[in-house]
Chain A
């Protein structure tokens, strides 16, 4: 049932150039992290993923070492075009931002103490935090059809949030600890689902 609803409006990257340009556009919009933009661009604009698939891929990207967004680019590029796809996606993600960054680094020394600059960075930081929270809230809608059920998803989510945001436990422990509990629970749910 949900397989048909998934494939309805999904598209895929057309070419290596498409990958390169898409990730360039994505990366250049990502102030204070590319995460919020990634969901907007890849799910809502490009439609390379549904929200459900985005969360699934993100889970893999998150559990592996390396920056999540870089991992995601590798996974998309690799799936459709193999190693050349990976290189195109990564080149897109890094080339233009690196040029911008080095230019800023050259200017920064002169303007770092300008009150306007400091204020602008503070304001943009506050916006960036809101963007990330909103991305989480948008993706939460993908849990609606989850086989785990609302209550269990809610409980796991709440525990994860408390551990990382409030108790500030290291991410690795939360992913390994809470993550393995969640995976075992999901494994058992899938068994019941298959038996029914």
Chain B
């Protein structure tokens, strides 16, 4: 389907270091660097087709686990293009280590420091001041996710699901998987 890519060690190394750079820039989560990954993998290097890029993100969003796993799928598809399953797994490794390693080391060191100095006024002020903003950003993230539902006038059943879910989860301890299951079933039968 796709012409087989010729990827040398220097290409893999380039991929690795590029993702390591993105890792340090990924404030707000890996998804914020997704546009640059598209630019690099699809436009600049031509290692990935547009369809593979889009599918990688869509599949990762619908599967369980951290969203950052879309990066694993990008690597998987690059590897597949370069020659097959084993290279696919190698691509997963290269991309995931690249995107995770630098930020993780930074977070580990910072978290140790801030925990050891948690009585410092500056550290306490940071946590106190950031609390309302962090909570607002969570609600904003939910809002942005919900806007995928589309025009509220036409797609009101989807919006209704979002609102009812928010109320149920806010007010009860019903297991989250029940809600996801119900949402999936309603969608499967075309009711929403």
Contact = CB atoms under 8 A, between A and B. Distances in A.
A40 B183 CA distance: 19
A140 to B, nearest CB: 5
> Which of A29, A31, A69, A83 counts the most chain B CB atoms within 10 A?
A31
A21 to B, nearest CB: 15
Interface residues of B, number: 94
B129 A65 contact: no
A63 B27 CA distance: 6
A158 B132 CA distance: 9
B32 to A, nearest CB: 7
Interface stretch (B9-17, B41-49, B110-118): B110-118
A32 B126 CA distance: 29
Q: Which of B137, B165, B179 has the most CB of A within 10 A?
A: B137
B39 to A, nearest CB: 17
Interface in B13-30: 23-30
Interface in A65-83: 65-71, 74-75, 78-79, 83
A123 B187 contact: yes
A128 B138 CA distance: 12
Contacts, number: 369
A131 B142 CA distance: 8
Contacts of A84: none
Residues of A contacting B: mostly: helix
18 contacts: A31-B63, A65-B106, A67-B29, A67-B67, A97-B64, A98-B69, A101-B60, A127-B161, A130-B162, A130-B169, A131-B176, A134-B168, A136-B141, A143-B132, A148-B128, A171-B32, A179-B133, A189-B128
Interface of B: 23-30, 32, 55-56, 58-69, 72-73, 76, 92, 96, 100, 102-104, 106-108, 110-112, 114-115, 121-122, 124-146, 148-149, 158-159, 161-170, 173, 176-177, 179-180, 182-190, 192
Interface of A: 27-37, 40, 44, 55-56, 58-71, 74-75, 78-79, 83, 86, 90, 93-94, 96-98, 100-102, 104-105, 108, 112, 115-140, 142-143, 146-148, 152-154, 156-161, 164-165, 168, 170-172, 174-175, 178-179, 182-187, 189-191
